[in-house]
């Protein structure tokens, strides 16, 4: 059973991001892991985070949604959690997948305000999306939609924490940074509570989504220093792998590394790397790209790798297209998850 719990925690890990461009909601872990009515189980359980991730996926109608998790440091020593769960949270913190703070307080609301993401909480039901028990798992109730991303000047800079090993603002993280914590107007590291040094302008980052057969499967960020390869089975570590979602025909026609997207001075660019080519669908025309050819992707353009396998900015499609996304809990041992009737 322990092995199965680890698999669920691994699945949850794949849905954590402190990159505001990738995350779809903000969560206070100390609060969520004590929603005992979600499964009538232990006083605290990390698996409840998985239920909230699932609820967000159903709410948005998307596969693979990610959450921005804020963790009060006291959670790391919460004896209501298993040692396995505490170890997982520590690992996530070390990898910069979650944000651990000496005092989480209202940091979730600050992150929401700076990023435009909704908070998944019961603390202010109505204004926010509250995860509550529903048929077949947690559901989100409330009215908050994602607001437009704020243009706070602190988000336009790259920041450096005095702690060189800092997972959020350390030397290793010069892109995809979380929003800094504003303490009396001074950008600070939420984890180390120290003033951040300004390292210059932040390169622009653009969100893209992959849609296969009408369903949004994955959201990812493209930056100026972060070209992303998309294909059936690309070798690059940070690439987008379409393989699992393709059928016979599309799997044959789409190359292992099919195309590359990157933000340049001119804008968002796509370069074809494939055998069978890529189509850029604009309002006016279809542009066929062959290997080595590069074009700018306009705000409403769609990049087509093969019929039904598409790439575009998130606003291009109103719905994620799926009523029941794949659950991160599907590997959960049934003994740990008793759904309320
Ligand atoms: Zn730090």
Ligand 1 centroid vs 188 CA: distance in angstroms?
8
Positive or negative: CA dihedral 109, 323, 302, 16? positive
Sheet of strand 215-223, all strands in order from the earlier edge strand to the far edge: 215-223, 205-212, 309-312, 302-306, 278-281, 286-289
pLDDT above 70 (res 277): yes
Q: Give the closest residue to 319 by CA, choosing from 61, 79, 132, 64.
A: 61
pLDDT at site 145:
60
CA R_g for the chain: 20
Ligand 1 centroid vs 1 CA: distance in angstroms?
36
Ligand 1 centroid vs 138 CA: distance in angstroms?
33
Residues less than 5 Å from ion ligand 1, measured at CB: 161, 163, 166, 189, 191-192
pLDDT above 50 (res 24): yes
Q: Which residues contact 159 (CB under 8 A, 6 or more apart)?
A: 169, 177, 180, 187, 189, 196, 197, 198, 199
Model confidence over 324-336: pLDDT tens digits?
Answer: 888 988 866 554 4
Ranges 108-122, 137-151, 215-229: which has the least confidence? 137-151
Name the DSSP letter for residue 90. H
Ligand 1 centroid vs 161 CA: distance in angstroms?
5
pLDDT above 80 (res 80): yes
pLDDT at site 1:
44
pLDDT at site 140:
87
Ligand 1 centroid vs 193 CA: distance in angstroms?
7
Mean pLDDT over 134-153 rounds to: 74
pLDDT at site 144:
64
* Residue 54, SS3 per DSSP: helix
Q: Which residue has the higher pLDDT, 289 or 335?
A: 289
What is the DSSP code string of 284-295? S-EEEE-TT-EE
Question: Cα separations (Å) of 253 from 67, 115, 172, 212, 291?
Answer: 33, 38, 37, 14, 14
pLDDT at site 341:
44
Q: Which residue has the higher pLDDT, 320 or 248?
A: 248
pLDDT at site 231:
97
Q: Can you name the residues that pair with 74 across neighbouring β-strands?
A: none
- Name the pLDDT band for 177 (thresholds 50, 70, 90): very high
pLDDT above 50 (res 98): yes
Ligand 1 centroid vs 229 CA: distance in angstroms?
30
Q: Tokens representing 305?
A: 């790798």
């Amino acid at each position: 059973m322990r092995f199965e719990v680890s698999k669920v925690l691994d699945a949850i890990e794949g849905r954590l991001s402190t990159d505001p461009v990738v995350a779809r909601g903000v969560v206070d872990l100390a609060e969520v892991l004590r929603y005992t009515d979600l499964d009538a189980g232990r006083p605290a359980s990390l698996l409840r985070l998985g239920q909230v991730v699932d609820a967000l996926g159903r709410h948005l109608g998307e596969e693979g949604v990610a959450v921005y998790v804020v963790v009060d440091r006291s959670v790391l020593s919460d004896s209501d959690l298993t040692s396995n769960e505490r170890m997982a949270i520590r690992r996530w913190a070390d990898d910069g997948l979650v944000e651990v703070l000496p005092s989480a307080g209202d940091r979730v609301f600050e992150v929401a305000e700076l990023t435009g993401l909704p908070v998944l909480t019961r603390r202010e039901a109505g204004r926010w999306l509250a995860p509550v028990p529903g048929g077949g798992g947690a559901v989100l109730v409330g009215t908050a939609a994602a607001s437009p991303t704020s243009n706070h000047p602190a988000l336009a800079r790259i920041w450096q924490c005095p702690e060189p090993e800092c997972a959020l603002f350390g030397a290793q993280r010069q892109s995809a940074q979380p929003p800094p914590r504003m303490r009396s107007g001074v950008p600070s590291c939420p984890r180390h509570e120290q003033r951040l040094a300004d390292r210059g302008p932040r390169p622009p980052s653009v969100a893209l989504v992959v849609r296969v057969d009408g369903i949004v499967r994955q959201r990812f960020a493209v930056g100026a220093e972060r070209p992303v390869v998309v294909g059936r089975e690309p070798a690059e570590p940070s690439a987008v792998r379409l393989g699992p979602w393709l059928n016979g025909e599309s799997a044959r026609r789409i190359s292992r590394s099919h195309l590359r997207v990157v933000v340049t001075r001119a804008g968002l660019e796509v370069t074809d790397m494939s055998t069978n080519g890529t189509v850029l669908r604009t309002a006016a025309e279809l542009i066929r790209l062959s290997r080595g050819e590069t074009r700018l992707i306009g705000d409403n353009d769609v990049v087509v790798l093969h019929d039904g396998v598409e790439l575009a900015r998130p606003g291009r499609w109103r719905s994620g297209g799926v009523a029941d996304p794949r659950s991160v809990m599907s590997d959960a041992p049934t003994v740990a998850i008793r759904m309320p009737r």
